[in-house]
Amino acid sequence: MRCSPLLLAVAAHALAPPPRAKNLGRRGAVVSEPETTTKGRSYADLTIGVVAEADPLENRVAQTPESLALLVKAGFHAKVASGAGASAGFSDDMYKSIGAQVVSEDEAWASDIVTKIAPPSSQEAAKVGDRTLLSMVQPPQNDALMQQLQDQGSTVFAMDCIPRLLSRGQAFDALSSQANLAGFRAVIEAAHAYGRTMAGSMTAAGKLAPARVLVLGAGVAGLAAIQTAKNMGAVVLGYDVRPVVQEQVESMGGQFLKARSRRPHAIDATRLQE
């Protein structure tokens, strides 16, 4: 997962002075408000911390050596908790080679900007204090955590809540890549449980029909699943409550499934739920 563009945007926003406010007078004349000055901090005064994930099943890391190198080049100081990238295949020496410091876990949590994948626990959130955290915070599912961070005065960027429909927000999207992998992994897991070949074959002994795969939902994960199953040789059917995605399903090699409807020009999804 790469957070570098957002981190740069966060720092730039913190350092940039506010624009001059302008009001319209009674006759439409532009009246400028007095300029205000703010004291910012240079990149050289900011430290970005990469902490380890507490969940033993979480193999991702918030910053790869490649993404962290961009921040170091921009002037930030970087501190990486020892072993933070081990599960993702990044050694401490790889982080050292791009100019980051490999430090203890507590030192990484003491950075000005802390980057993490999973939502922090209550004990981890306490280490953030009134500084900045970038993470998959999942606010709707973590009311107590959000209240704690608010009480601490923390500045939090929930990477999972950045709008992806806005063009300026697409560069900060951390969900699409994960959804794409989820769709790919779903087909791999299904093929393993299926126990037979996905592709059809024909030999002198007979014919083996290809597997038929139904993918419900044609979002980012669903389209990735359709493409993966098709590449494995299966006959793929895709369904979504949005008829407009039919073209996307077919572009991935799938057949769009149209459910029977009780009303004209409507899709009845209740039958699939029964």
Q: What is the pLDDT of residue 176?
A: 87
Bridge partner residues of 102 (DSSP): 80
Q: Is 240 exposed, middle or buried (0-12, 13-18, 19+ CB in 10 A)?
A: buried
Judged against a pLDDT cut of 50, whether residue 21 lies above it is answered with no
pLDDT band at 34 (very low <50, low <70, confident <90, very high): low
The Cα 75–Cα 103 span in angstroms is 19
Indicate the CATH number for domain 4-172: 3.40.50.720
- Could you read off the pLDDT of 190-242 as tens digits, one per residue? 999 998 889 988 888 888 899 999 999 999 999 999 999 999 999 999 999 99
What are the residue boundaries of the structural domains of the chain, listed by start?
Answer: 4-172, 176-273
What would the DSSP string read from start to end of 174-230? -SHHHHHHHHHHHHHHHHHHH-S-SS-EEETTEEEPPPEEEEE--SHHHHHHHHHHH
pTM for this entry: 0.71
Q: Is 256 exposed, middle or buried (0-12, 13-18, 19+ CB in 10 A)?
A: middle
Architecture field, domain 176-273 = 3-Layer(aba) Sandwich (3.40)
Judged against a pLDDT cut of 60, whether residue 39 lies above it is answered with yes
Which amino acid would we find at residue 190? A
Domain 176-273 in the same topology as domain 4-172: yes
